[in-house]
């Protein structure tokens, strides 16, 4: 046998670092599950949320399906039933267990899912060490995609768990440490940005999702952007001013959602007890902190609040322009270095995905990958809005300023907030 060529060495180094990244991401998924009781792993309070156990299995299925089966020599499928059970939405792979019934999968058990993870990890590490990985950029690229995919599910783990635990009046805390109080934020400042024809979308060689490409020209007119998010006390002022009862502040579809709801209107996790507002957090039920950014708002709530303020939501292009050209200090809560901490515990003023007014549509010239993996992002480009900025629940190393998160306007269970914009 002869020594590997220089370029093979480089690729090996790259493969080694991908392997390390793989392990870090995989371990983090299990780390964040540590506080769970076995019983918590199976919760699914609505179709859009998935049980923690399902997230753990599905992310493994992703590596098994898109890496191990096509690329790992002699790889043997772990369990014949798992392809169906843990496929989320990839029609190109095959059928899927009904999404809204995932809580009915008591089997495989939590322990069996962890065994599945170990099996996949072992095979993935072998693959990344193999000659194939040194020769195929596809393997490294897809592994990187698989890691980002798992990180997305890490954030969903937090948002889904919070929503599910909230349904139980015992209001169990995920993190039994007290939630540190927020500091009173400074008065909101407006940053002005001059209109220009600029480039939008991911730049450079690093990883990005397909929906951040191609980088393309976009004209953005003069605008101003708030230097921080809207706070709970500001949202309470909206409510005190009849914000939820004044149809002129609401988009028609949002008003219809309000009227159809059996609940008296308030942000999702707000609970009123003897005239006082409390908020359910992953630290349990706490008194509503007026200084913390108002969170878990739907796009309809965000939009109504903005209209009440005589403002509007930013477009995703305004947001990206501001994030790119502003010194970090000028645009709070959007730092690309997300803290590797439990949600809600660390960042004093919080950090939330920020609704934009931009529909989630393809950039000009958008292309998807061939095969089932092409279903990753593209097929969701209808009826959703883009959110920007990351959140306290976003995994470390996952975020970029060109990142386009997307949810439906009524969705409230993500870590969402409001940054105001207005015409200059």
Report the alpha-carbon distance of residue 281 to residue 361 in Å, rounded.
32
Query: What would the DSSP string read from start to end of 150-161?
Result: HHHHHHHHHHHH
Comparing CB distances to Fe ion, the nearer of 29 and 88 is: 88
Nearer to a copy of itself, 236 or 302 (CB): 302
218 binds, among a copy of itself, Fe ion, none (CB under 5 to 8 A by kind): a copy of itself
**Residue 309 interacting entry, from Fe ion, a copy of itself, none, C-beta within 5 to 8 Å by type:** none
**Cα–Cα distance for residue pair 37/55, rounded to 1 Å:** 16
Phi, psi angle pair for 37, to nearest 5°: -75, 155
Q: Is 277 left (phi over 0), alpha (psi -120 to 50) or beta?
A: beta
Nearer to a copy of itself, 25 or 387 (CB): 387
Report the nearest approach of a copy of itself to the CB of residue 129 (Å).
33
**Any idea what DSSP says for residue 145?**
H
Give the integer Cα–Cα distance in Å for 146 and 144.
5
* Cβ neighbours of residue 169 closer than 8 Å, sequence gap 6 or more: none
Which of a copy of itself, Fe ion, none sits in contact with 97, Cβ below 5 to 8 A by type? a copy of itself
Q: Which is nearer to Fe ion, 88 or 405 (CB)?
A: 88
In whole angstroms, the minimum distance from the beta carbon of 155 to a copy of itself comes to: 20
Q: For residues 186-215, which are near Fe ion according to CB under 5 A? A: none
Strands 416-417 and 284-287, bridge-based pairing = unpaired
What does the radius of gyration of the chain's CA atoms come to, in whole angstroms?
A: 22
Closer to a copy of itself by CB, 236 or 258: give it. Answer: 258
- The entry of a copy of itself, Fe ion, none that residue 172 binds, CB within 5 to 8 Å by partner kind: a copy of itself
Element holding 24 (H helix, E strand): helix 6-33
Helix, strand, or coil here: 358?
strand
Instruction: Choose among Fe ion, a copy of itself, none what residue 251 binds, the Cβ cut-off being 5 to 8 Å by kind.
Output: a copy of itself
Q: Can residue 88 be called a binding residue for Fe ion (CB under 5 A)?
A: yes
Contact set with a copy of itself (CB under 8 A): 37-43, 45, 53, 81, 84-85, 89, 91-92, 97, 101, 103-110, 164-165, 167-170, 172, 195, 197, 216-219, 221, 223, 247-248, 250-255, 299-300, 303, 312, 357-359, 361-362, 364-365, 374-375, 379-383, 409, 423
- Asked if residue 414 binds Fe ion (CB under 5 A), the reply is no
**Least distance between a copy of itself and beta carbon 137 (Å):** 24
Residue 88 binding partner per list a copy of itself, Fe ion, none, with a CB distance cut-off of 5 to 8 Å that depends on partner kind: Fe ion
65 binds Fe ion (CB under 5 A): no
DSSP state of 179: P
- Least distance from C-beta 259 to a copy of itself, angstroms? 10
Alpha carbon 375 to its chain's center: 18
Q: How far is the CB of 313 from a copy of itself (least distance, A)?
A: 10
Contact criterion met (CB below 8 Å) for 305 and 230: yes
Q: How far is CA 101 from CA 105, 205, 266, 397, in A?
A: 8, 40, 28, 32
Query: Considering CB distances under 5 to 8 angstroms, the limit depending on partner class, which of a copy of itself, Fe ion, none binds residue 39?
Result: a copy of itself
Pick 290 or 362: Cβ nearer a copy of itself: 362
Minimal distance, residue 164 CB to Fe ion, in Å:
18
Using the minimum distance from each CB to Fe ion, give the nearer residue, 88 or 347.
88
Phi, psi angle pair for 237, to nearest 5°: -65, -40
Query: Who contacts 59 (Cβ-Cβ below 8 Å, separation ≥6)?
Result: 29, 146, 149, 150, 153
> What residues make contact with Fe ion under the rule CB under 5 A?
88
């Amino acid at each position: 046998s002869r020594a590997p060529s220089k370029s093979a060495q480089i690729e090996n180094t790259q493969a080694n670092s991908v392997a390390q990244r793989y392990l870090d991401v995989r371990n983090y998924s299990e780390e964040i599950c540590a506080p769970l009781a076995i019983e918590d792993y199976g919760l699914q309070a609505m179709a859009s949320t998935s049980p923690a156990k399902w997230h753990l299995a599905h992310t493994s299925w992703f590596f098994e399906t898109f890496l191990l089966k096509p690329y790992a020599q002699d790889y043997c499928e772990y369990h014949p039933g798992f392809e169906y059970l843990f496929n989320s939405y990839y029609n190109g792979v095959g059928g899927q267990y009904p999404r809204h019934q995932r809580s009915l999968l008591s089997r495989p058990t939590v322990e069996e899912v962890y065994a599945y993870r170990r099996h996949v990890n072992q095979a993935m590490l072998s693959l990344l060490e193999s000659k194939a990985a040194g020769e195929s950029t596809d393997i490294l690229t897809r592994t990187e995609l698989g890691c980002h995919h798992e990180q997305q599910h890490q954030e969903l783990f937090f948002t889904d768990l919070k929503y599910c635990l909230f349904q139980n009046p015992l209001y169990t805390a995920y993190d039994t440490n007290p939630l540190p109080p927020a500091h009173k934020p400074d008065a909101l400042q407006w940053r002005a940005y001059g209109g220009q024809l600029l480039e939008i979308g991911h730049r450079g060689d690093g990883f990005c999702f397909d929906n951040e490409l191609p980088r393309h020209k976009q004209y953005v007119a003069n605008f101003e952007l708030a230097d921080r998010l809207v706070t709970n006390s500001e949202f309470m002022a909206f409510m005190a001013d009849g914000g939820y009862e004044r149809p002129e502040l609401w988009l028609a579809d949002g008003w219809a959602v309000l009227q159809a709801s059996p609940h008296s209107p308030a942000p999702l996790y707000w609970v009123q007890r003897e005239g006082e507002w409390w908020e359910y957090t992953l630290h349990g039920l706490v008194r509503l902190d007026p200084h913390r950014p108002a969170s878990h708002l739907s796009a309809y709530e965000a939009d109504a609040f903005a209209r009440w303020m005589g403002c509007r939501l930013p477009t995703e292009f305004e947001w990206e322009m501001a994030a790119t050209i502003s010194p970090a200090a000028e645009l709070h809560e959007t730092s690309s270095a997300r803290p590797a901490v439990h949600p809600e515990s660390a960042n004093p003023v919080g950090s939330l995905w920020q609704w934009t007014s931009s529909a989630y549509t393809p950039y000009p010239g958008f292309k998807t990958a061939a095969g089932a993996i092409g279903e990753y992002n593209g097929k969701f480009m209808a009826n959703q809005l883009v959110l920007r900025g990351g959140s306290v629940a976003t995994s470390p190393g996952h975020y970029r300023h060109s990142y386009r998160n997307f949810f439906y306007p009524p969705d409230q269970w993500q870590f969402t907030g409001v940054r105001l914009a207005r015409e200059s």
